[in-house]
């Protein structure tokens, strides 16, 4: 199942995730580091020093200057990217939100792999799904397809509790994709633990238009998708306004908590397509370039 056009995938292949070069790993990739190494991209010359590899001496320059200079090349290093996608019931209840989350996760995974970086994709709270560990552009299309085809019907546990168990160290970039529906105090605990992995963290907060601006009136039965509890309510404009205010305050506190822990926060909704977000908003916010 391919939900992206060939033209859009071609545009994704020209992008790369933005990571501080100081965080690059030690394995070879195609990402330019500020360190010097053995890639084929020339940087500059420097004077030969005792102990330098004589094979790096540029004899053409020596013939012109009678001085020994060696060539320096930009090293090419991979980064390790972990993408944690919320697969709890609250994420999956609204199909448009669930599909958007999968598309964003799939596209970012695709960008990671086509740049020869190392990917760990972790579907959180999905007990019947395994994480995906891949490296190499030859895996990009298959991983993209696998993520887009994710289907879950089983009951799930809470996102934060499960993510804390699977938090990976040694990653240069950690991407969290969730609807942010859990308590702020729980997010603070998660972020405090995540800070110890010394990774750049990107928090992508997804809500549906239906959740932001509900169009409900009259008597209704509300079901908590996580706890499976029910409550009968009479929905009035006043109740909707109170809900929206509470949601707005929660979202603001969540964004503030992210910034407190030096986590990059971006809010998205299904009012925009994944294609619009990747090519426009994510570039604007410096997530990809």
DSSP calls for 74-96: EEEE--EEEEEEE-SHHHHSSHH
Q: How many percent of the chain have pLDDT more than 90?
A: 58
- The partner residues of 76 in beta bridges, in order of sequence, read 32
CB neighbours of 213 closer than 8 A, spacing ≥ 6?
244
The answer to which of 59-63, 76-80, 144-148 has the lowest mean pLDDT is 76-80
Query: Which pLDDT value is given to residue 239?
Result: 85
Q: pTM score, two decimals? A: 0.80
Q: Each residue of 154-169: pLDDT tens digit?
A: 666 789 999 999 999 9
**Mean pLDDT across 261-275:** 96
The answer to which of 44-58, 72-86, 90-104, 172-186 has the lowest mean pLDDT is 44-58
Distance from the Cα of residue 153 to its chain's centroid:
24
CB neighbours of 72 closer than 8 A, spacing ≥ 6?
36, 42, 43, 44, 45, 46
The answer to which of 67-71, 98-102, 241-245, 277-281 has the lowest mean pLDDT is 67-71
Question: 102 with 147: CB under 8 angstroms?
Answer: yes
Query: Which pLDDT value is given to residue 252?
Result: 98
Domains in the chain, CATH or no CATH each: 28-77 (no CATH), 78-284 (3.40.50.410)
Question: 96 with 270: CB under 8 angstroms?
Answer: yes
Query: Which pLDDT value is given to residue 34?
Result: 46
Query: Which pLDDT value is given to residue 46?
Result: 64
The answer to which of 2-11, 116-125, 228-237 has the lowest mean pLDDT is 228-237
Rounded to whole angstroms, the Cα distance separating 256 from 172 reads 23
- The partner residues of 288 in beta bridges, in order of sequence, read 17
- CA-closest candidate to residue 243, choices 221, 216, 218: 216
Residue with tokens 């168990």: 165
3-state secondary structure of 141: helix
In this structure, is the dihedral angle defined by the CA atoms of residues 226, 274, 172 and 256, taken in order, positive or negative?
negative
3-state secondary structure of 41: strand
Question: 141 with 149: CB under 8 angstroms?
Answer: no
Query: Which pLDDT value is given to residue 2?
Result: 64
């Amino acid at each position: 199942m391919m939900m992206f056009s060939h033209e859009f995938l071609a545009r994704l292949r020209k992008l790369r995730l933005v990571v501080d070069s100081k965080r690059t790993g030690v394995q070879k990739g195609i990402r330019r580091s500020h360190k010097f190494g053995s890639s084929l991209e020339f940087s500059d010359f420097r004077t030969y020093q005792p102990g330098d590899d004589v094979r790096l001496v540029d004899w053409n320059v020596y013939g012109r200057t009678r001085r020994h200079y060696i060539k320096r090349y930009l090293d090419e290093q991979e980064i390790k990217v972990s993408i944690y996608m919320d697969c709890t019931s609250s994420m999956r209840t609204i199909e448009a939100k669930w599909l958007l989350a999968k598309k964003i996760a799939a596209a970012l995974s695709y960008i990671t792999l086509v740049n020869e970086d190392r990917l760990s994709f972790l579907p959180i709270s999905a007990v019947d799904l395994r994480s995906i560990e891949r490296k190499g552009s030859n895996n990009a299309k298959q991983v993209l397809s696998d993520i887009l085809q994710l289907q879950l019907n089983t009951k799930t546990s809470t996102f934060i509790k499960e993510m804390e168990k699977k938090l990976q160290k040694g990653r240069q970039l950690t991407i969290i994709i969730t609807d942010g529906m859990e308590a702020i105090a729980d997010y603070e605990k998660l972020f405090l633990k995540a800070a110890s992995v010394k990774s750049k963290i990107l928090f992508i907060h997804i809500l549906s238009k239906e959740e932001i601006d509900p169009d409900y009136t009259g008597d209704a039965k509300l079901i908590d998708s996580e706890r499976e509890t029910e409550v009968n309510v009479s929905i009035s404009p006043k109740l909707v306004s109170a809900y929206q205010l509470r949601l707005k305050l929660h979202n603001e506190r969540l964004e503030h908590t992210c910034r407190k822990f030096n986590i990059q926060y971006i809010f998205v909704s299904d009012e925009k397509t994944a294609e619009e977000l990747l090519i426009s908003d994510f570039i604007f916010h410096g997530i990809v370039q």
